[in-house]
Structure 1
Amino acid sequence: MILFHWLAGSVLALIWLSRVWDSARGIPTIADISQAEWDRKPGPGNRLAIVVPACNEQESIEQALRRLLALDYDNYQVIAVNDRSTDRTGEIMDKVATASGDRLKIVHIAELPAGWMGKVHAMWTAARQSDSEWILFTDADVMFRPDCLRRAITYAEAERADHVVLFPRIIMKRVGEKMMIAFFQLLFVFGHRPWKVADPKTKDHMGVGAFNLVRRKAYEAVGTYAALKFEVVDDMKLGKVMKNGGFRQRVVFGDDLIEIRWARGARGVVRNLTKNFFAVMSFQTWRSLGACVAMVILNLMPFWGVPFAPGWTRIPYSVALGSMFLLYAGVWRKVEIEPWYFLLHPVSTILFIYTMLKSTFVTLHKGGVEWRGTFYPLEELRKGLV
């Protein structure tokens, strides 16, 4: 038993230490476009279309659109899509458009064609309404700072990038959502190393629904969103096809250039992820269950080992826990989640495992995913995976 604990604890310590080392070297290499060096005007041209799909977003859509219309960037148009909303979303969009001149164009979709996810179809439809050099795909609840677009295009020009992903500031007001989002950040350290995205030799890729800025030529070269018709995790998969297509991809920080209230409390995080988690596992049950086992071993075993492992075998478990704390401390510097949330790590781990299992078994039981009033069969979702 002592040998087991030495081996298990040492492996866990090495894994967590490697993540600390990798992220400590990698995160500082990610540009922050809120810094003064990016506060300048981009070159001439760079016409841009901002695509905003919305389904039943009456609470946020007016403020989001007005923020977009107030950007200090000259050469752009906002194309907002009312995707079969049953609330006042479409009415509010039309009201804002009436006072905006040609800057805001509204597209109303009454029916969803077979073989499409609703949001993907909405974004594809909107992108076809313009021939701009750049397209920015964003969400209907994202709040933009006026200088955001100008800075992003300036950075894209400087880096000769084809795809720029800007991490949003997530507005968090409750302990539950802070706890869950802190854990979510740690998952990214394992699954998607953002500092490796720019390296063409790696498979690391990134996409964020709040801000996916793409060069139209690259977007069309990978098949547009028509190549992702039935993808639940459409933002990440756009990043995947762009990276696989050999295009230059960059991720950036931006402080409060864009903000979003992604979920309200731990329940809100669980609800939002229930739709996506099984999709992240490519709708494969063995991968979903394997991920749950891995989360138990990596995230819970160190907390168990420190108080219960015999004698000196507690040392490697302590090293693993110390490494976790260092990652939480690093997260705090970027997303304003205090390091003491490390103490709630076992709780958030259990909730994430619950969410993964719920997403898996609900999808299997229903035979598909139901989202915003539309049911998507599992068989078609699996066929549509990229």
Structure 2
Amino acid sequence: MNWIYWILGGLNVVMWGTIAIIFTGKAAQIGKLYQTEDKLKDEPPLISVVIAAKNEQKALERCVESLIKQTYTRLEIILVNDRSEDETANIMQRLSDMYPNVNGLDITELPDNWMGKSHALFQGSKRANGEWLLFTDADILFHPECLSKAVVYSQTHQLDHLTLIPEFQGPEVFSKWYGAFIFMSAASFGMLWKVKDPKASQSFGIGAFNLVKREVYEGIGTHEGFSYISTDDFTLGKLIKQAGYRQDVLFGTKMLGVWNWYESLPQLIGSVEKSVFRYPNALMTTTSSLLTMIYPWFGLFMGPPSARILCAISLLFVFWLYYVYSRHSGSGAWYGIAHPIIGMCLIIGGQRGAFRASTRGGMTWRGTTYDRRNLKS
């Protein structure tokens, strides 16, 4: 029986140790937007900010106000009300009346084979006049210099697409833990420092900030080309890179924040269902979470002393990964302590998502059920 403990402990040491060593040496190669000068050399291009809002009465006004305060002047803001049932439509109308560069669009029906957010962003893009499109979310807060720096960086590096890893703000600690896990994993295991390399296959896209040239967006077929994929933001980045366009990802530390990504633990668990709604994926999520996120903690108290030491070493590597990530992202250096909690959330969310999708015939997200037979994650 002891050999099982040794194998599990050893596998965790190898996996977490390898990625911790690699990420420690490479993390600094992912740039930080705030370190960019915001002095534009040429006439700044018009940017069309497109925001899809579904029941966002708590966040929308705060987001728009942060955009209005941008030092970047050539800006239009297109708000798309995606079948909201709260005061979102009224807030949009009030903001449109207050600011001449803010326009609102109401959507009352969702066509077949469309995700709600993708459809809303697509409709908003058709109203846009900008040379660049910025797809973002209603719960995002922008530092006044964010867009100026983003445009300067994109022009300097001749980019077609720029995406930013946001900071996670607000009082909800579960959101901060989850955000740190998601983007620490993406940055390290996904080797995001390679995204800028045209020859590398790595790509990325984040719903908080996807700045893309209009001609590039149209060149990959717009959101129509991936209308029924739940991970629309990541897919956008993937298609842009695969088409041969230049792309980069930066830390948005001090420049871009998400306010209360999820306001409660049930919301966080429910978000997992958006990506894990089939039993094979749920089984994979459960297995990997149990073996690599939860077992090392229990392994501290199980098996022979040598196997316990292996688990302790693997946890030290996990803590170090979160620490390195925090040095660049602005997250908490101690967030590694929540690693097994996030693992449990992934397991519960994945299993519940697969069960609900099988009983309802589809994945339910923000009040809409999508047919899982055609839906992709």
Same fold, judged at TM 0.5 (above) = yes
Q: Deviations over 1:243-296 (max 9, x none)?
A: 11111110011222122221124333213333x231xxxx54223312211121
Q: Secondary structure at the match of 1:380?
A: coil
Question: How far did residue 241 of structure 1 move?
Answer: 0.9
Q: Point out the more displaced range, 295-304 or 130-139.
A: 295-304
Q: Which residue of 1 aligns with 2:19?
A: 19
Give the 3 Å change call, closer, same or farther, for CA 340–147 of structure 1 in structure 2: closer
* Match status 1:99 vs 2:98: yes
Q: Which residue of 2 aligns with 1:161?
A: 159
Q: Which residue identity lines up with residue 153 of structure 1 in the other structure? A: V
Q: Which residue identity lines up with residue 345 of structure 1 in the other structure? A: H
* Match status 1:58 vs 2:57: yes
1:278-317 → structure 2 map (5 Å cutoff): 278=276, 284-317=278-311
Q: Which residue identity lines up with residue 370 of structure 1 in the other structure? A: T
Aligned counterpart for 1:358 among listed residues 352, 357, 366: 352
Q: Which residue of 2 aligns with 1:319?
A: 313
Q: Secondary structure at the match of 1:86?
A: coil
Taking the aligned partners of 2:338 and 2:128, their CA distance within structure 1 comes to 47
* Match status 1:73 vs 2:72: yes
Give the 3 Å change call, closer, same or farther, for CA 40–272 of structure 1 in structure 2: same
Give the 3 Å change call, closer, same or farther, for CA 339–38 of structure 1 in structure 2: same
Q: Deviations over 1:132-173 (max 9, x none)?
A: 211000111212121111100100011111110011111142
Question: How far did residue 72 of structure 1 move?
Answer: 1.3
Q: Which residue of 2 aligns with 1:30?
A: 30
Q: Which residue of 1 aligns with 2:254?
A: 256
Q: Which residue of 2 aligns with 1:333?
A: 327
TM-score (norm 2): 0.92
Contact 1:49 1:136 in 2 (8 A): yes
Q: Secondary structure at the match of 1:307?
A: coil
Q: Which runs of 4+ in 1 moved over 6 A?
A: none
Q: Point out the more displaced range, 120-129 or 331-340.
A: 331-340
Taking the aligned partners of 2:156 and 2:98, their CA distance within structure 1 comes to 35
Contact 1:139 1:209 in 2 (8 A): yes
More helix by share: 1
Contact 1:175 1:265 in 2 (8 A): no
1:165-204 → structure 2 map (5 Å cutoff): 165-189=163-187, 191-204=189-202
Number of aligned residue pairs: give it: 376
Taking the aligned partners of 1:248 and 1:337, their CA distance within structure 2 comes to 28
Give the 3 Å change call, closer, same or farther, for CA 193–70 of structure 1 in structure 2: same
Q: Point out the more displaced range, 191-200 or 121-130.
A: 191-200
Give the 3 Å change call, closer, same or farther, for CA 182–254 of structure 1 in structure 2: closer
